[in-house]
Structure 1
Amino acid sequence: MPESQPSHRALEWAAQTIGEPVRVVRRLTGGTHAVTHLLETPESKRTMVLRRFPPGDGAAANEAHSLNVLNGLDGWAPHCSEPTRRASDPASPPS
């Protein structure tokens, strides 16, 4: 399982993805193996959830696929803002 707090690199990746600086609001509980944090942009107060899975865990790709299938629900399901990449991909979100 990744470290409990997102690394500086992970927060930089999240900021690039959402388009402005982010800060950790709090860790979200629940789940069995992904470390999940609520992030917020200080200026516009936009929020996003950062989920970090252990390297090689297929659940990340499954979750991204499921969220993409649900995109047609007009906001009734979370939106996957960045496709999940394999840990070996240098553009992959860092833990």
Structure 2
Amino acid sequence: MIEIEVVYAATDRQVLRSFKVGEGTSVRAALMVSGIAKAFPELDLTTCPVGIFGKVVADPDRQVVQPADRLEIYRPLLADPKEIRRLRAAKAALARQADQ
């Protein structure tokens, strides 16, 4: 058995769970037994993007967890960060023009 962590941050709360799984367990299988779906029923663990220590896992059904891995469940972005920066810059430019 190896110990791993699963972490998920919703908009209103965060959960970090440590537990043990058998060697050779896939990332997706570890998520399914983590119990995180009970805490967040809106999560679809079969399709949600996941990562290990900030690096996205391309195929969670094949990737095997290693001792002390921290599995991170990612939420979809509500807004594109590039678009937000562009809008902020445009707003600042308008404010500068108004001050002149």
TM-score of the superposed pair, with normalisation by structure 1: 0.28
RCO greater where, 1 or 2, for CA within 8 Å and sep 6 or more?
A: 2
Greater gyration radius:
2
Larger strand share, 1 or 2: 2
TM-score of the superposed pair, with normalisation by structure 2: 0.28
